[in-house]
Chain A
Amino acid sequence: MKLDDQKQTPLPCESCPVHHAGNLMKLGVDMTDWDFVVALAGNPNTGKSTVFNALTGLRQHTGNWPGKTVGRAEGGFDYDAHRYKIVDLPGTYSLLSTSYDEEIARDFILFGQPDVTVIVVDATRLERNLNLVLQVLQITDRAVVALNLMDEARRHHLEVDDHRLARDLGVPVVPMAARHGEGIDLLLKAISDVANGRTVCRPRRIQIESPAVQQAVTQLEAELHDRFPNLPNSRWVALRLLDGDVQIAEAIRSGELGNLNRAETVSQAAEVAQS
């Protein structure tokens, strides 16, 4: 699946994982027996847990209650000779506020650098769900959108153009009805394509309307880029700093954020290649 016709910048190593094993360990995820880590994000009540169960075969209870999964569930699956660990993040409306759930989800995507982040969205309430999608796409450029509850959308006579959405968002979009097992195979393939670098995402960036803010963001982003040339999401970090996010400022101060770059994984890959 190719998403754009632009020239693709080749990754340092097309098939090697990007996740940050050390940070994942700190977040409580052991990657010893796994090739890739997949994070599962999404608004509450979008069938995220159903998708999780469909992927892993686990029977986690999936309630019709906003905000059901508290904390984190983990599972795993094999696909195409690779072993994937999947982490179900708490359902949140946003990643910009400061609730505990949002912090868990945000920290995992930012510091854990999952190889793929699957964002489960409710096809019947796309506008609201895209809010979270856009926010996640500021942090990571390795994402797949699972357009869930297509059965409900059909029931309400809604037509959702997933190709168009994929083009607009710059990441693969998989229409599915996880309750009935529809679209799971496509989702698996999309995950594997992104994880292995066969699909390269060009995620949509948030447009900022106010010129004053725009200028502030650009300036700060440039400074961040100078300081940490390998930081994959300097623009998002700039936005967080301008929002007065103490945690992100702390992560910069402690150097934790500076460590988040591709360089490490490249050198790891080089080591693996040499041995």
Chain B
Amino acid sequence: MNPLTTLLLATVVIAMAVLIWWPERGVLARWRKTRSRAEHVYREDALKHIHKSHISGRRPTLESIAGVIHLSLNETAAILADMQVDELLRIAEGEIALTAKGRESALHIIRAHRLWERYLAEETGWEEASWHGQAEEMEHRLQPAELDALSAQLGFPTHDPHGDPIPDRTGQLMAYDSQTLTTLDADTPARIVHLEDEPETVYAQLVAEGLYPGQIVRLIGSSPERVRFWAGGNEHILAPIMAENIHVVLLPEMIEVDLDKKERLGSLPPGATAEVVALSPTCRGSERRRLLDLGLTPGTLVQAEFQSPGGDPTAYRIRGALIALRQEQADRIQIKRMEA
């Protein structure tokens, strides 16, 4: 056999195999995904969208629903009509409203989504940017009984990792009186309560900026082109369209905000000593428990001893023991530097 032919043939076969079986992005994985997009998925996505619109004071329309579930207007209308028959929603004079039954289903989906995100954050190693997409899949598969079990396993969490409240079994949802960062007055301290996880690309960028719920922010100034603000000890500049995805609540005025002084352990130079102020909320699950086990509780004195020849990790003296932490771990520990 001609070696050239066999080479080409083999290359093609391997390329095909990779295309087909590659996890997540392979043909097989994609086919499985689309196959699972059955009718009930469209219905549930529509319910979720209508519910979310009502909560945020927007009006759900046929167009907006069609946009969310990626179907044509006609197909969407047909699905909505079916749902009306099943008493999930009411359509009167162009207003689309959920019935009690519809709201219950919507809350179940939201609960499933947020619990699953919480699960991914606490008990797996998936990267933050992939949580939302995975939860979008799982929310249609989980049954109420499974959710109860999952909730118990996670210790009955009340919030998802983005700071969104998780409805309990009866659909009780704690609501925030939040506003977007763009509507905040300059120099008014506020706390991030939620990062909108849709669209995913914007969310990924917000995460990459190091933003997370619980952080204190202060707007420096905003123009139609860009929004400048302090958060987590750094100055951030974002396009308004992105900043709109950051939801904040005003802080009571009494709280003294020392935004700029918060330092991270990762920036402590060798030889210096610092006191642990807090572990960042982005440090979750077994990672957090491990750091706590090592004694990194607030008030602990930590001394940076020496760095690896590669610059990372760094060895820290923590309660008498020498522990090496990687840069990204150390960056999740807020410290107050001690005078030498």
Contacts and interface: CB of A to CB of B under 8 A. Distances in A.
Contacts of A263: none
A125 B319 contact: yes
A128 B320 contact: yes
Contacts of A94: 289, 292-293
Interface in A99-148: 99, 124-128, 131
Given A127-B295, A128-B295, A97 B319 contact: no
Nearest to A43: B321
Contacts of B154: 244
Contact of B289 (A96, A125, A126, A131): A96
A244 B156 contact: yes
Contacts of A243: 155
Contacts of B293: 93-94, 96-97, 131
B53 interface: no
B153 A127 contact: no
B278 to A, nearest CB: 16
B286 A128 contact: no
Count class of interface residues, chain A: 10 to 19
Interface residues of B, number: 16
A188 B155 CA distance: 42
Nearest to A130: B319
A267 interface: no
Q: SS class of chain B's interface: helix, strand, loop or mixed?
A: mixed
A243 B289 CA distance: 12
Contact of A128 (B289, B292, B321): B321
B295 A131 contact: yes
Nearest to B318: A128
A49 to B, nearest CB: 18
B1 interface: no
A20 to B, nearest CB: 27
Among B152, B154, B286, B289, max chain A CB count under 10 A is at B289
Given A125-B319, A128-B295, A99 B152 contact: no
A111 to B, nearest CB: 21
A202 B292 CA distance: 27
A74 B290 CA distance: 28
A131 B292 CA distance: 11
Given A93-B293, A125-B320, 13 more contacts: A94-B289, A94-B292, A94-B293, A97-B289, A125-B319, A127-B295, A128-B295, A128-B320, A128-B321, A243-B155, A244-B154, A246-B152, A246-B155
Interface of B: 152-156, 286, 289-290, 292-295, 318-321
Interface of A: 93-94, 96-99, 124-128, 131, 243-244, 246, 249
29 contacts: A93-B293, A93-B294, A94-B289, A94-B292, A94-B293, A96-B289, A96-B293, A97-B290, A97-B293, A98-B286, A98-B289, A99-B286, A125-B319, A125-B320, A125-B321, A126-B320, A127-B295, A127-B319, A127-B320, A128-B294, A128-B318, A128-B319, A128-B320, A128-B321, A131-B295, A243-B155, A244-B154, A244-B156, A246-B155
